[in-house]
Amino acid sequence: KAGVTQTPRYLIKTRGQQVTLSCSPISGHRSVSWYQQTPGQGLQFLFEYFSETQRNKGNFPGRFSGRQFSNSRSEMNVSTLELGDSALYLCASSSMGLGLGSTEAFFGQGTRLTVV
């Protein structure tokens, strides 16, 4: 069974540019969530999508946005990049359904974004 696939693995962008990251969840999983990981703050929740709808959102500025497609693949976009956006961006895939509590979430390898 294929795991969670994130592309690209590495990105270098210039301040002010925008970037789009992609996540393909485990087959059959309908929930995709995104996290930012930095040495100082650890893993911080960005947002979660389930069946193409954003279900939860963390405390990040509006420059961070996402979407989910009908095949459950998800993209995350960051506009007007700042140096502080340099981080490992992780997506997690879960099979949980509506009205249920959390189930196991499986992470991808992440996309390491460097803003220069």
Report the residue from 58, 60, 67, 75 that binds another protein according to the rule CB under 8 A: 58
Distance (Å, whole) CA 48 – CA 56? 5
Q: Which stretch binds another protein (CB under 8 A): 11-19, 55-63, 71-79?
A: 55-63
Q: Which stretch binds another protein (CB under 8 A): 13-21, 59-67, 69-77, 100-108?
A: 100-108
Residue 107 touches another protein, criterion: CB under 8 A: yes
Residue 4 touches another protein, criterion: CB under 8 A: yes
The Cβ-side half-sphere exposure at 23, using a 13 Å CA radius, reads: 32
Instruction: Work out the end-to-end distance of the chain between its first and last CA atoms, rounded to an integer number of angstroms.
Output: 37
Residue 5 touches another protein, criterion: CB under 8 A: no
- Measured in degrees and rounded to the nearest 5, phi and psi for residue 28 equal 95, -15
Distance (Å, whole) CA 62 – CA 79? 9
Report the residue from 78, 81, 105, 113 that binds another protein according to the rule CB under 8 A: 105
The Cβ-side half-sphere exposure at 62, using a 13 Å CA radius, reads: 0
Site string for another protein, 13-32 (x = CB under 8 A): ------------------xx
Residue 2 touches another protein, criterion: CB under 8 A: no
Distance (Å, whole) CA 88 – CA 81? 14
Report the residue from 16, 18, 55, 84 that binds another protein according to the rule CB under 8 A: 55
